[in-house]
Amino acid sequence: MTLSTTIVPALLGLATGLSLIIAIGAQNAFVLRLGIEGRTRIILPVVAICALSDAVLILAGVLGLGALIRAAPIALVIIRVLGAGFLIVYGLLAARRAIRPEALVAEPVSAAATTGLGIAVTTVLALTWLNPHVYLDTVLFLGSVASQQGPAERWWWVGGAMTASVLWFSALGFGARLLRPIFARPSAWRVLDASIAVVMIALGIRLALGL
């Protein structure tokens, strides 16, 4: 094996994966908020779910699930409707936290106490698997790009794309605690929740309209 068949495709897969996931979205916004709250017991499984979900979807794309999705578009329509409803409801809850002063707290650690492990896991699973763009980006796009690699390079490329998810969600979840001094102020939580509300509701409306 040479660099052109191992390291190079792995780096290309890493860069392609990062280019898709480093963006303001529902999943990233949720992980960011949990990271700022700062409880490892919750952040670790959430980060693991995000990275593992991406790995499963990328692998599914390489193995041909994309063809099944193209053959049964109604499945994406159902996911789109469910995902839109979930995002809008979550966005409204974030808006309520931003509007109601009693929903704000002075310390991020106290805020974390309101986010239970079960709720966090259920929410991140819904944000991941009820988002049709995940299937379009990860299964169809990444899967098709991976399939275009040569036999010797393909799995190195896939490994790079999977590594991108692990690196990004780990950095987002565990690195966000560096922002905790800023979020010691209730006003900062208000701004964050307002931003999350805008992102979630906007994405929910886009999904509902099929945009």
Regarding predicted confidence, which is higher, 44 or 87? Answer: 44
* Rounded mean pLDDT, 45-71: 82
Tokens, residue 194: 């307002």
pLDDT per residue over 106-120, tens digit each? 344 444 345 688 989
**What residue type is 167 in one-letter code?**
L
Rounded-to-integer distance, Cα 205 and Cα 211, Å:
9
pLDDT at 109: 44
Tokens, residue 49: 């779910």
Averaged pLDDT of the chain: 79
Rounded-to-integer distance, Cα 18 and Cα 124, Å:
19
Measured between its terminal Cα atoms, the distance across the chain in Å is 44
Whether the CB-CB separation of 10 and 159 falls below 8 Å is answered with yes
> Could you state, in order of their start, the residue ranges of all structural domains in the chain?
3-209
- pTM listed for this prediction: 0.74
Most confident of 49-53, 94-98, 180-184: 49-53
pLDDT per residue over 5-42, tens digit each? 678 888 888 888 887 787 667 888 889 888 888 778 89
Regarding predicted confidence, which is higher, 132 or 75? Answer: 132
Long-range contacts for 190-196 (Cβ within 8 Å, ≥24 apart)?
A: 190/98, 190/104, 191/98, 192/33, 192/36, 193/33, 193/94, 193/95, 193/97, 193/98, 193/103, 194/94, 194/95, 194/98, 195/29, 196/29, 196/30, 196/33, 196/91, 196/94
> Is pLDDT of 148 > 90?
no
> Is pLDDT of 75 > 90?
no
pLDDT at 3: 60
pLDDT at 50: 93
pLDDT at 106: 39
Phi, psi of 131 (to 5 degrees): -105, 110
pLDDT at 69: 62
